[in-house]
Structure 1
Amino acid sequence: MAGHSKFKNIQFRKGAQDKKRSKLFSKFAREITAAAKMGLPDPAMNPRLRTAVQAARAQNMPKDNIERAIKKSQEAGGANYEEVRYEGFGAGGVGVIVEALTDNRNRTASEVRSIFTKFGGNLGETGAVSFNFDKLGAIEFAAAKATADQMLDAAIDAGADDVESSEDGHVVYCHPDQLHQVVKALEGRFGEPRAMRILWRPKTAVPVDEEAGQKLIRMLDGLEDVDDVQDVYANFEIADEVLERLSA
């Protein structure tokens, strides 16, 4: 287990701050409805639904909204969402993974392809990019909750695989199947996490300059604004001061 890695996943680190709250809640609601419809509408009996509900709660989504999303899954004639993953390349050869929940594959594919093309990217075949990422469970805690050593020790005891600690906070990584077990153990010591989810973390990062970075950031923002898109991941590395300018 490594105590720190410079290859942070940009989406997970800043995603919640970059999205409007209503947009974020809308994506959580769609995931909750889809998870409840694909399995049982009881989080205790449906691991995917439990993950979705816990992730929504960690971002302070109101209880009423969560319950309404679960109830929606049981309504007759409701949308049947399908999981779709797109893989492609952005400016500078950066690998991009887009995960979506859609009731119309043609519409979603068209919107995603259009955004890739608009900003100089291109879609690839399934597997063209994901081999360079690890699919992991991730739990985030505020920096004040523990020192880096305390979080690392607790994560090891909980069965996690990796920890990244910085002034922004701690991110604990584990196998997706172990997410609930690790969360439960860490909650006992540090309280409810700031965020949790299953994500794709890059194994390596592609350095990009400001010109390529500008196109890439605009493309990622455009993809996140698509209603059907749930998450976007990219394996790029860019200087913090350049990223701040581009995100302004």
Structure 2
Amino acid sequence: MAGHSKFKNIMHRKGAQDKKRSGMFSKLSREITVAAKMGLPDPDMNPRLRAAVNAAKAQSVPKDNIQRAIDKASRSDAETYEEIRYEGFGPGGVSLIIEALSDNRNRTATNVRIAVSRNGGNLGASGSVSHAFDRVGLITYPASVGDAEKVFEAALDAGAEDVTSSEDGHEIWTAQGDLHEVVKAITPVLGEPEGAKLAWKPQTMVEVGEDDAALLFKLIDTLDDDDDVQTVWGNYEVSDAVMEKLA
């Protein structure tokens, strides 16, 4: 679940779609289970669970799968997942924050380290790059929800801080502590969001050339294939011209 929609649209090959879909279902189900275990198993009473369920629905996860993931949280034999954050650098000096949910810290650390080192990057110590990101709330809507002006006005009225709109959809940014209140205020206007979660927003961007971009996307794709890795955040910026060459 890397945070670069153009990359995901262009780089995911048709032959890998079934595998990607299965992996996405697994990640979303894991987040649902963790959210249900950390709070109440009722999405109406648990903002993190509600956001996880909405994200799963947006990706067409079957209702039975969603309910099983919720029910799994209350079972005595359910796995215990740990939230882990890795920080490091990718090709072209890009800063990366890798978030994982794991039931085996050693396995996850090994897999992440190998993926990063084999694709032109290296992991750093905790805090090595997160100081260059802001911890904020991120609410996402598809482009079909309305035009940029409509979404901007709704977000502003709901207490959001910033909005980014493109042909891929709308990203609404909030202060870290305001995320769930903004979701509550904006839902009656725009409907349930595709996603609502805490995010890492880079303070400055690094433009990446063709060679580094190709290696960076390979790194992100490798991390995305790991069941333990939930999200990869980065401060990379790739021009449309380079994206077209890599398509």
* TM-score interval, normalised by the smaller of the two chains: 0.7 to 0.9
Query: What amino acid is the match of 1:233?
Result: W
Gaps of 5+ in 1: 1-9
What do you get for the CA RMSD once the two structures are aligned?
Answer: 2.0
TM-score (norm 1): 0.87
Work out the CA distance in 2 between the residues paired with 1:25 and 1:15: 19
Quote how far apart the aligned CAs of 1:67 are.
Answer: 0.7
C-alpha contact 2:51 2:195 (8 A) present in aligned 1? no
- Seen in structure 2, the aligned counterparts of structure 1 residues 185 and 109 have a Cα distance that, compared at 3 Å, is same
Of the structure 1 ranges 206-215 and 54-63, higher mean CA displacement relative to structure 2 is found in 54-63
Work out the CA distance in 1 between the residues paired with 2:157 and 2:36: 32
Quote how far apart the aligned CAs of 1:63 are.
Answer: 1.7
Alignment of 1:136-155 (within 5 A): 136-155=136-155
Gaps of 5+ in 2: none
Q: 2:5 matched to which residue of 1?
A: 13
Q: 1:104 matched to which residue of 2?
A: 104
- Seen in structure 2, the aligned counterparts of structure 1 residues 44 and 178 have a Cα distance that, compared at 3 Å, is same
Work out the CA distance in 2 between the residues paired with 1:15 and 1:140: 17
Identity percentage of aligned residues: 53
Query: What amino acid is the match of 1:119?
Result: N
TM-score (norm 2): 0.88
Q: 1:49 matched to which residue of 2?
A: 49
Runs ≥4 residues deviating over 4 A: 14-19
How many residue pairs get matched? Answer: 238
Q: Does 1:183 align with 2:175?
A: no
Of the structure 1 ranges 77-86 and 15-24, higher mean CA displacement relative to structure 2 is found in 15-24
Quote how far apart the aligned CAs of 1:16 are.
Answer: 6.7
Query: What amino acid is the match of 2:223?
Result: L
Q: 2:74 matched to which residue of 1?
A: 74
C-alpha contact 2:54 2:192 (8 A) present in aligned 1? no
Work out the CA distance in 1 between the residues paired with 2:144 and 2:70: 34
Quote how far apart the aligned CAs of 1:216 are.
Answer: 0.8
Work out the CA distance in 1 between the residues paired with 2:28 and 2:36: 12
Quote how far apart the aligned CAs of 1:214 are.
Answer: 1.2
